[in-house]
Amino acid sequence: MHARTEGDAVTTRPVTDRQLEILTNVARGRTNRQIGEALGISEKTVRNHLRAISHKLSASDRTHAVVLAIGNGWIAIPIESEGNQANPGAPVPREVRAPA
């Protein structure tokens, strides 16, 4: 587990920093292939990370894992999708932190 300090409280999260990176990308609507390309890993490695994340969090699927991560404040909530192929000038998403 990974501990982080927030004020005087110490919270733990069962996922690694890399797995948190994967979850953040999933929350942004990216496919396994897009995540792999962005992080310089194979699509299969992304799938393996997602399996491990689901197991650690007892999540039924990737969406459930993201919901749990947001609910626990481990990742920020993406307000808008990151751009649109049809509209490349779409605004960059604003992020809001989940309540602690």
| Count of beta carbons in the 10 Å neighbourhood of residue 20 | 16
Is it the case that residue 26 has pLDDT exceeding 90? yes
- Give the start-to-end residue ranges of the domains of the chain: 2-96
Q: For the chain, how many residues are written?
A: 100
Q: Are 44 and 52 in contact (CB under 8 A)?
A: no
User: Is the domain covering 2-96 a CATH 1.10.10.10 domain?
Assistant: yes
Mean pLDDT of 39-62: 97
Predicted pLDDT at 94: 53
Reported as a pLDDT band with limits 50, 70 and 90, residue 95 is low
pLDDT of 1 > 70? The answer is no
Residue 90, pLDDT above cutoff 70 = no
Three-state DSSP state, 95: strand
